[in-house]
Chains A and B, each alone.
Chain A
Amino acid sequence: MSAAPGAAAVTARFRTGDRVKVRWADGPGHIRTPWYIRGHTGVIERLCGVYANPEELAYARSGLPAQPLYRVRFTQAQVWPDYTGSRADTIDIEIYQHWLESA
């Protein structure tokens, strides 16, 4: 859910082109970070905006402060070691900032 204008938001730590690693973590509830991408390294494609945290919203909390949401681009051949397509093929995934660390 898009955060209301003026609502508290976490400052965006990453910029387009930054290398980031998806945290290898687990937790209960409505997590939007797919299993298959945890622990993998990619590059920030763009900042999408700031959004209330869905993991909190699922429990009827405010989801604030809002989390920056990024599109992160991964190389298929790195995500899937047995990938048979072009080495240039990619997968872009939307990931919230609290799931990312600098790489």
Chain B
Amino acid sequence: MHEHDGRTHGHPDPHPGARPDADDTLTYYQVMEIAVRELLIEKGVLSADAVRREVEKMDARSPAQGARVVARAWTDPAFKAKLLALGNDALVDLGLERGPYKLVVVENMTDVHNVVVCTLCSCYPRWLLGLPPDWYKSRNYRSRTVREPRAVLREFGLELCEDITVRVHDSTAEMRYLVLPARPAGTEGWSQDQLSAIVTRDCMIGVAVPKANS
């Protein structure tokens, strides 16, 4: 029994159009996660608050961090050189987390476009960009981006002519990838904040490119 507007009514009473609860049926791995987490807490290895803090910390990471990195690379050639050679060290220079994986930065140029996918699962530079979008984890994106990248990019609204080489990066093991987009024309003299505002998550995965008028 529960109340709506002070009135009480009994169940079963399906609310028409109500969205099903996302956690009403646990999968095998969800049950396993709960079991392992409860054991670790019971044994004093972790605390519930420590788990909560990590979840909160992950949710606070966002593509804005990556956008700062890109804007800096656009305006500081020495930083850009370091970012391409030693990505994690360059992050530390900006006060960002070094991260648990090696960061490989791939640069878009007038004749090269890079796009990142993880065919095996959903590898993504989470410490830098936060959690990946749902489509990045979909079977559709993962299987088709390696097979027909130009068709996938077209569906994202990015049409690339034949003169531009498409480089797909399948993130299968220990590297994590960040696309360094090309700085668009019409942004001369812009501040770091103005520049980072046009660098979106999708630009850093490689399914979009920044635009001066976006």
A interface vs B, CB < 8 Å?
Answer: 1-2, 32-34, 36, 48-49, 51, 54, 69, 71, 76, 80, 83-86, 88-96
Looking across the interface, which residue of chain A has its beta carbon closest to that of B121?
Answer: A32
Which of B148, B164, B165, B172 lies in contact with A94, CB distance below 8 A? B172
Encode B53-83 as 1/0 by CB contact (under 8 A) with A.
Answer: 0000000000000000000000000000000
Set of chain B residues within 8 Å of A34, measured between Cβ atoms = 119-120, 146, 170, 172
Give the 3 A-B CB pairs with smallest separation, nearest first: A94-B173, A88-B165, A91-B168
**CB proximity of A36 to chain B, nearest CB, Å:** 7
For window 143-201 of B, CB contacts with A under 8 Å fall at 146-150, 162-175
**B102 interfacial contact with A, CB 8 Å:** yes
Which of A33, A54, A94, A95 gathers most chain B CB within 10 Å? A94
Question: Is A86 a contact partner of B166 (Cβ separation < 8 A)?
Answer: yes
What would 16 more interface pairs be, CB under 8 Å, given A69-B174, A92-B170, A96-B173? A34-B146, A49-B102, A71-B104, A76-B166, A76-B168, A84-B148, A85-B148, A86-B165, A89-B150, A89-B166, A89-B168, A90-B165, A91-B167, A92-B167, A94-B170, A94-B171
Cα–Cα distance between A88 and B167 once the two chains are bound (Å): 9
**CB proximity of B132 to chain A, nearest CB, Å:** 18
Question: Is A32 a contact partner of B173 (Cβ separation < 8 A)?
Answer: yes
Looking across the interface, which residue of chain A has its beta carbon closest to that of B177?
Answer: A92
**CB proximity of A90 to chain B, nearest CB, Å:** 5
Encode B125-150 as 1/0 by CB contact (under 8 A) with A.
Answer: 00000000000000000000011111
Set of chain A residues within 8 Å of B146, measured between Cβ atoms = 34, 36, 91
A-B contact pairs, 19 of them (CB 8 A): A2-B174, A32-B120, A32-B172, A34-B146, A36-B146, A48-B102, A48-B174, A49-B102, A51-B174, A54-B173, A71-B104, A84-B150, A86-B166, A88-B165, A89-B168, A91-B168, A92-B169, A94-B172, A94-B173
B interface vs A, CB < 8 Å?
Answer: 102, 104, 119-120, 146-150, 162-175
Cα–Cα distance between A73 and B192 once the two chains are bound (Å): 34
Cα–Cα distance between A4 and B174 once the two chains are bound (Å): 14
Question: Is B172 a contact partner of A95 (Cβ separation < 8 A)?
Answer: yes
**CB proximity of A87 to chain B, nearest CB, Å:** 9
Which of B164, B170, B174 lies in contact with A93, CB distance below 8 A? B170
Question: Is A33 a contact partner of B167 (Cβ separation < 8 A)?
Answer: no
Question: Is B174 a contact partner of A89 (Cβ separation < 8 A)?
Answer: no
Question: Is A48 a contact partner of B175 (Cβ separation < 8 A)?
Answer: yes
Cα–Cα distance between A88 and B148 once the two chains are bound (Å): 14
Set of chain B residues within 8 Å of A83, measured between Cβ atoms = 148
Looking across the interface, which residue of chain B has its beta carbon closest to that of A2?
Answer: B174
